[in-house]
Amino acid sequence: MYTQIKRFIEELTGPIPEKDWKLYTENLVPKSYRKGDVLLEYNELCKTLWHLEIGAVRKTELVDGVSKTTNFDLAPKVITVLQSALTGEPSELSLVCEEDCEILELSFPVLQELFEKSHFIERVARCIIQQEYIYEFGARRMLLKMDALQRYEYIEKNFPDVMNRFQLKDLAAFIGVTPETLSRLRKVRFS
């Protein structure tokens, strides 16, 4: 049951004891979302860990009133907006389904209750948060230290599925260029 997510979590934590996995999965709420559905709106408090079993989600941020893609998440992955979840402040990000998605939701209040019942589940949450931080930190460093062509090559090398599963306009926004500039970069890259 939930083999994709279990494999993803076990890559972070090592083998999950069966009693802890049973306790964890008993509290996951399966939901289906269609392409274009919004998991989290701007200025909404993030109270959920979304376990992305199938599909792809795009993180967006408002910059001068314009929605810009700031990151991509592909199944299997556990996603959240850490800043909002940890501080209790409204999210500056929105999460949008880029494909039809199968998601297992776990609310933070329920997660807090699970911490009291299982130290291993605390470890799972800690590892997920660490992985999310490392992922976000890497994306920010890429944006600060690489030029547009280097960013494109970095994504191509490290996240090849992003190239095929997201629109080029979103990829352009993510690496900080216009779609026209991205087209020119692609020509340079492939010539």
Q: Is 105 helix (H, G, I), strand (E, B) or coil?
A: strand
Cβ-proximal residues to 140 (8 Å cutoff; 6+ apart), any chain: none
Q: pLDDT digits over 83-136, tens only? A: 899 899 999 999 999 999 999 999 999 999 999 999 999 999 999 889 888 888
CATH number belonging to the domain at 3-145, selected among 2.40.160.40, 3.30.70.1070, 2.120.10.80, 2.60.120.10: 2.60.120.10
* DSSP notation for 25-63: HHT-EEEEE-TT-EEE-TTPBP-EEEEEEESEEEEEEEE
In degrees, to the nearest 5, what angle opens at C-alpha 163 toward C-alphas 94 and 54?
Answer: 60
Q: pLDDT digits over 17-60, tens only? A: 999 999 999 999 999 999 999 999 999 999 999 999 999 999 99
